[in-house]
Each structure stands twice: as structure tokens, then as C-alpha cells.
Structure 1
Amino acid sequence: MQSNQPKRTPLYEKHCIAHAKLVDFAGWEMPIQYPAGIVQEHLATRRSAGLFDVSHMGRFRISGNQAGAFLDYALTNYAGGLGLGMSHYTILAQEDGGAVDDAWLYRFESDNFILVVNASNKDKDWTHLESLKTRYTSVILEDLSESLAMMALQGPQSEAILQGLLTDGVLPEPKRNATSLAALAGYKVLIGRTGYTGETVCFEIMIQADKGGALWDILLAKGVAPIGLGARDTLRLEASLPLYGHEMGQDSEGKTMPILACSTARFAVADSEKKNYVGKAAIQRQLAALERYKKGDFSDTSVLPKRVVCLRILDKGIARQGSPVFYQGRLVGVVTSGTSVPYWKYDEAQKLTEQYDQRSVAMAYVDCQLTAGAEVQIEVRGKMLGAKIVKRNLKPGAAGMMAVFE
């Protein structure tokens, strides 16, 4: 009989020792926050470095002489051409052009790949990949989720901290998505310059499960702040990064959201480089629609009727998932994610201060004709909040990531 008890990561005891508030997330007992609280955890990541337990996410190893060809078919970009020591954002597509899941593909070694998928979709993704594997008989698909722990170190001081712990190998090259094999404090690790916070200095680390707790303690001893799922969400939302089930998957009416309705997904689609992949015909129609929209041609919006946009809330209040969005009195969509986020203040010389404030940001799924600059209204508890569609709410600054208000 299957237990209804939530699963625990190899770092569970560390969260208990740190007096974290634990919640059930996708079947896992995970820290939502530590005693410092979500606001301080968010600010610590932006100013110095934050440490996240992401061991709940699925980790699959794909090997065999057909591994590259299999992943080319199963994913939306060119996996076979992913260079050794690199990684990239990718999507498992449905034939109708929707997403089974979004994921990250790593190539730490020449003879295999590691695919990291969302915790809530792990079993579904495994079944999906197994169903596609039947035509690639030499492919070996292994679930490493229990044998590897995974943590993320994010923020401007992250690199200096890891460099000081390096005992073998090298850190990944200083470019986004680079990876390396190394040892930190004597522990063998897989390191990628990846993350889910919008930080330009970011690392995700995989380590043997029974060694993860020791490395976690070593990193905390360096002054790194432990960060829970609450701040992980505010950080990703401030950076306008999509979350499956919100900005990808199904919309509020239960309809499939086209993959390219989310602009971030464009980085995961490399159609011209691939002969065939799941969902290709539908995604090509979405690409054609985007090209028409760039030219101002909205005569046919059937393929991409709505798109995900980034919002800055202009009035006092917080927009939440499900809040209706209006434009000139007409219902045009719905908020997919929304919250209040803290941000560090900078002085007139663009120097980081010790002061911080809060602001409301959101993402929404709205009519495709609406673009950056359009002002909309969001209904929250019977009150209308003014908001503006913007290109971004966060940008790199001299001392780290900084809030955008223009």
C-alpha cells in the first residue's frame, strides 16, 4: 500500500534543525521559510547569497548511443548539439503544442545527459519519456532523483564562496549555462551556472545524496542564508520566470496553453535545427503566428490567442492568481502569478544602500494584442488596481540585480 506521507529530501533533517516551517509541496515535506522570514530570505539572496534545497525535483540520466537522437525527438531544442560542459532550458512538448513540462538539460559528461524536471510532474514526465523511448532501443533512462541531492546557491557572492571551497576541478566557465565536474570541500559534485531566481551569479549543485547534508552545513558556515520555497517563488516572479501550472500547462479554463504563449519558452525552441520532434507542427504554427504579430498582423489569432505578460502593479494592493484583467473595460485575461516582493534601494549614484521597500508584481495570461506599455486594470476583491504591462521588473546592476521602475 502506498503511503500518503509526504516524501523527504536528504536535507530534511537540516531544515528541522534550522527551525524551518515545513509544508507539503508536490508530495514533499519542504521548507516554505526559515525563522528570518520570506522577505529577509529574498533580500539576502539579492545582496549576498542564498541556499535552496531543490532535491525534490526529478533527475533523470539519459545514456546510450541514441541518447542525443532520442532527446532531439523528445525535447523542443537541439539536445544532440549541446556541447560538453553546457546546459540549456528545454520543454517536453505535447503534439498539440502544449507543454508536458519545462525542464533543464545538462551535459556534464560526453556519454550521458541529465534532465531536471519539476517535482510535481516527475512521474508524468517519466511515463512520457518511457513511451517515446520505444523507438530508440539503445537508450537507457535512469531515475537518479533519490541517489542525488540537489541544491542551488544563488546571489552575487555565490562564486567567491564556491571558489573558496574548491578542492578539485574548476568552477564552470563564467558564462550562463556552463557546467563542470569538481570537488567542493572534498565532495565530488556536478555544478551548473543555472538557477530560478534571475540572478546572474547562480549555481546549482548535484551531489551524492548521503553527502548533501555535509555540504549544506559547510555552505551555511560560510554565512550563506538558507532559503525556503516562499522566497524562491518571490524571486522567480520578480524575475518574470514561468512556473508550470501557472504560466505553462493549462489555463484557468482548463485549456492547453500554447508553449510559445510564454516568451521564455522561445529560448527552449530550436525548430530550424531539428528534423523532427514531438509537437513540431503545432509549434511551427505558433512561430508563424509570432512572426505575424511582430509585423502588427493580428488578423488570425486562433493559434496564439493569448500571451503571458509581465505586470507592474501601479496602485496599492496585491494581484493574486485568478484575478481578472481588464483593458479599457473589456475582460482580456487573468493573473497567473502575483505577489509583493521586497527590493533593495539604490542611491542616486546607483550604489546599494541598507534600505529596502516592497512593491507588487504579477504575470498574466492576456489577449495577444496587448504589449509592453499598455495599462490594464486588475480586479482584486471587488476593487480595481491599475497595472502596466512591462518588459521586465528586474535588471542587472553594479552591485547585483536591481528593481526596474521605468
Structure 2
Amino acid sequence: MKHTRLHGRHTTLGARMADFAGWDMPIQYPKGIVFEHLATRKTAGLFDVSHMGRFRVKGERAIDFLQRFLTNNVLNLSPGNSHYTILANPQGGAIDDAYLYQLDVSDYVLVVNASNAQKDVEYLHSQVSAFTGVTLEDISESMAMIALQGPQSEALLENLLEAGALPPKRRNALNRATLCGAHAIVARTGYTGEPICFEVFIAAEAVEALWDALLDGGAEPVGLGARDTLRLEAGLPLYGHEFGIGPEDAEIAALACPVAQYAVSFDENKGNYVGKEALLRQAEARKRYAAGDFSQMRDLPWVIRPFRLIDNGIARAKTVVYDTDKPVGYV
């Protein structure tokens, strides 16, 4: 299995480790998932997310390349901003969902799921040659990534700030800063639903010092177990559950997931892109559903909704959901 640069820190802290997408990652630390979840909500949770894929896209035609293969409108970005997006296939399914960060004019970082990183980079590499002057570099090993989420996160980072500044106080903003003697990119993004949230990109050789300093400042380490409960509480999707292949071995339409509407653009200046026609049909089907018209179910056979258990228990993936005695869906 692969290890992030923080693997030794996790084992020293007594984390329970397990395979996640080929990475040996912390599932929880000795205080447990509930403690880690609540610590993130009440103070500050620190996450190692270096297992995720990070690709640098640069060049004069970088925007053309990204507009073609990502569903959101890159023209709405400017240096120092980011947004949620989807790498779609022609059928309107999600090859992956991702976050795109614009560092400078014609300079972007695309962050993708660990489970899809290899197929994503292979797919994008197979397409980039058609865009003269565009370079696509996998920087997943050279650039580490950690997340600091929760009410005390900003104060913890400010205490370590040596140069530059934290991003403006708005969602998806990013800025360059020096933390613990190393250059970093700090973004107000995250996967927990916390309003005060940061993800930090930093050279792999510098991440251990930053991790240690944040723990010394009072952050609590959080594993993938609480990361999952936090994203569920916030209603955020996870590829392999709300995107990808569903319980009946059929691909889930991207717009079946409500959050996907923020990742898909039909702006006129967005132009054509992979999956657009299918996504337009899905969007129309959602509108019809809202009016009680189910005539376009073939375009959007499933929609994803929250539900509440009526008794104690665990809603495990692929469990059938019933309305009285009628099966109406799956977890």
C-alpha cells in the first residue's frame, strides 16, 4: 500500500490504519470517531488528505482544455478562487467529482478523489495533446495536502503565518502564504460543511512540520471515519456512493445528486463540453419531477434524497429503503 508523508505521524498517534483506495490511511485515532467529529464542529479538526490526486494544468489554452472536460464554467473563476466541478462522461455520469483551484492566469490545480486519481490522470493525459501548449502534471507526490476545519481553524493558522495572508473571508477563496518556513497555498475549502474551513497545499517535505505545529496549537487529528460522518451530516456526496455505479450496477446520473447542480454550468459562454447534452436532459427531468411529471424518468431514473431512521440502527450501503412495505430505493 502507498503511504502519505504523514504516515509515521498517524502510527505514532496510535491511529487505526486501513486500506483506502490503495493507501494505508488513518480510520480513527484512540479518542474515537465521535470525539473527532465533535472536535471538528467545536474546535478544529486536522485531516491528512494527501492521498487525493492533485494535477497541475498550465498553458495559454488551459482554460479551453478545462472547459471541455469539466462541467463547471472556468470563466467564472479568477486567480485566487476555486469551485466544485465534475469530470463527466458522454452519458452524463460522473467519472469523478473534483475541485478546481485557479492559482494564476493559465495556472490551475485540479484535486480529485484518491480512488479515481489514476484513471482521471490517464483520461486527461489522453486528451491534452489536442490543446497545444497545455501541460498536465501529476503533483500528488511533490505537493502534500492537509485540511483544517472548524471554529478555531483560522486562529490556529494565523498563529503560524510568517508571510503572505490567509484568503479573504469568503468560501472558495485562496491565497499564498508562508507557514512554518514553507510556501503554501491556503484555500477556504473543505469536506465537512464547516463555515470556517481550510485546505493547505504545501511541499511534501514541509508537511510534517506544519502538521506538528497545528497539533501543538490545539487541533485534533481526524481520520477517515469522522470525515465520512462529517460529510454525511453536511449532505456532501462521496464518489462510489452518491456518484458512480449504483446498487443495481447502473451508473448514477450526475444530477441525481442535489449538490451536483453547483458543479454543472449551462452558461452560454461555457460552450460545449463532454456530457453536456445528457446533463441538459437530466436538468429538464429534475424540473419535471418538481411539477409531478415523471415522463423523463429514462434520463434521470434515480434522485438522491436524505431520509431519517425511525428507530435505532445503521443504514448501511445498498440496504433497501421502504415506504411502509413498498421498496422505494437504496441507501
What is the TM-score with the length of structure 2 in the denominator?
Answer: 0.97
The code of the aligned residue for 1:261 comes to: A
Matched, 1:76 2:91: no
d(CA) in 2 for partners of 1:81, 1:230: 34
Q: Is the 8 A contact 1:251 1:257 kept in 2?
A: yes
Do the aligned partners of 1:198 and 1:239 also contact (CA within 8 Å) in 2?
Answer: yes
Matching residue within 172, 175, 179 for 1:180: 175
Structure 1 SS opposite 2:30: coil
- Alpha carbons 1:69, 1:80 under 8 Å: kept: no
**Post-superposition CA distance 1:248-280 (Å, at most 9, x none):** 011011111100000000000011241110011
Richer in helix (by share): 2
Distance 1:300 1:290 in 2: 9
Letter in 1 for 2:323: Y
Q: Which runs of 5+ in 2 are unaligned?
A: none
Distance, in Å, in 1 between the alignment partners of 2:140 and 2:92 is 28
1:17-28 matches, cutoff 5 A: 17-28=12-23
1:324 alignment counterpart: 320
Confirm or deny: 8 A CA contact 1:192 1:205 kept in the other structure. yes
Alignment RMSD (CA, Å): 1.1
In the TM superposition, what whole-angstrom CA distance separates every residue of 1:136-165 from its partner, at most 9, and x where no partner exists?
121100000000110000001101111121
Partner of 1:392: none
- Compared with structure 1, are the counterparts of its residues 80 and 131 closer, same or farther at alpha carbon in structure 2 (3 Å cutoff)? farther
Letter in 2 for 1:280: K
Structure 1 residues 387-398: aligned runs within 5 Å = none
- Contact 2:3–2:25 (CA under 8 A) maintained in structure 1: yes
Corresponding residue for 2:95?
100
Report sequence identity in percent: 55
State the distance in 1 between where 2:194 and 2:211 align: 20
Q: How does 1:9-24 map to 2 (within 5 A)?
A: 9-24=4-19
What is the alpha-carbon distance in structure 1 between the residues aligned to residue 230 and residue 271 of structure 2? Answer: 37
Structure 2 SS opposite 1:80: helix
CA–CA distance in structure 1, aligned partners of residues 326 and 131 of structure 2: 50
Q: For residue 130 of structure 1, what is the aligned residue in structure 2?
A: 125
Instruction: For 2:145, give the aligned amino acid.
Output: M
State how 1:296-315 maps to structure 2 within 5 Å.
Answer: 296-315=292-311
**Residues 168, 186 of structure 1: 8 Å contact kept:** no
Gaps of 5+ in 1: 1-5, 336-406
Higher radius of gyration, 1 or 2: 1
Distance in 1 between residues matched to 2:79 and 2:20, nearest whole Å: 33
**Given residue 90 of structure 2, which amino acid in structure 1 is its aligned partner?**
E
Counterparts of 1:157 and 1:250 in 2: how far apart (Å)? Answer: 38
Letter in 1 for 2:305: V
Distance 1:165 1:147 in 2: 22
The answer to whether the Cα contact below 8 Å between 1:179 and 1:192 also exists between their aligned partners in 2 is: yes
Tell me which of the two structures has the higher relative contact order, counting C-alpha pairs closer than 8 angstroms and 6 or more residues apart: 2
What number of residue pairs does the alignment pair up? 330
Mapping for residues 4-403 of structure 1, pairs under 5 Å: 6-273=1-268, 274-335=270-331
d(CA) in 1 for partners of 2:302, 2:103: 37
4+ runs deviating over 4 angstroms: none
Structure 2 counterpart of 1:141, one-letter code = L
Compare the two structures and name the one with the higher strand fraction: 1
Partner amino acid, structure 1, of 2:291 = K
Report the Cα distance in structure 1 between the residues aligned to 2:92 and 2:127, rounded to whole angstroms: 16
* Shift, 1:132, TM fit: 2.2
- Counterpart Cα distance in 2 of 1:241 and 1:254: 22
